[in-house]
Amino acid sequence: MQVTKSNTFKLVKAALLVSCFFMFSCENDQKQVDEMFSKKTAVEEAAGVESYLSQGGKVKAKLTAPYMLRYLIDSPYLEFNRTLHVDFYNDSNQVESILDAHYAKHKEFQRTVLLRDSVVIINKVNGDTLKTDELWWDQNKQEFYTDKVVHIYQRTGYTIGKFGLRAKQDFSEWWILGSSGQRMVSDDGIPQ
């Protein structure tokens, strides 16, 4: 093929037309492009949740909640943003204590649970009741703790922990930080 001025002119004209076509045919909104390449979090949701925790073949706890979200990220977590209720069982499969909260966040890998908003724990054995606005549950250490104000009601009186508390998971033992309150005292001066 012989290159002539006419052929060169046609090739340049064709190249300009094709480039104009590509230039004007692709126009994207920057917001749409950013959304396409943004990282999205996968979320699973469940309604009418009922879950059991067992150790050594024995049921230790039963959780019920109307709604749950599970966030599938590097450190996955469960969120209960419409209340939850937990029954804790003893070795005889009897309810030992109950827990209610309006909000909970369970960090799966760390095995910790943040309980918030109207947290109430009742020990069914002795009737002790704990109320607070925020409470952490460490499943590895099997204990509850908080640095928020706690109110503990017992048959013999009540105690207020101004700086929080630490307690065993079954609330058989607990330690109040900055306590005050009323206690019944026997005639010998020893609190009951």
In words, the CATH class of domain 42-183 is: mainly beta
Question: Looking at residue 4, what is its pLDDT?
Answer: 65
Average pLDDT over residues 16-21: 62
| More confident: 19 or 42 | 42
| More confident: 155 or 37 | 155
- Residue 20: is its pLDDT beyond 90? no
| More confident: 11 or 21 | 11
- Residue 22: is its pLDDT beyond 60? no
d(CA 128, CA 149): 17
DSSP type of residue 177: S
pLDDT band at 117 (very low <50, low <70, confident <90, very high): very high
pLDDT band at 16 (very low <50, low <70, confident <90, very high): low
Question: Looking at residue 62, what is its pLDDT?
Answer: 94
Rounded to two decimals, the pTM is 0.72
Return the minimum-mean-pLDDT range out of 3-7, 38-42, 153-157, 171-175: 3-7
Query: 3-state class of 126 per DSSP?
Result: coil
Question: Looking at residue 186, what is its pLDDT?
Answer: 64
| More confident: 63 or 161 | 63
d(CA 88, CA 59): 9
Report which secondary-structure segment, H or E, holds 21. helix 5-25
Average pLDDT, the chain: 83
Question: Looking at residue 53, what is its pLDDT?
Answer: 86
d(CA 63, CA 57): 17
Query: Which amino acid, residue 80?
Result: F
Question: Looking at residue 74, what is its pLDDT?
Answer: 87
| More confident: 178 or 190 | 178
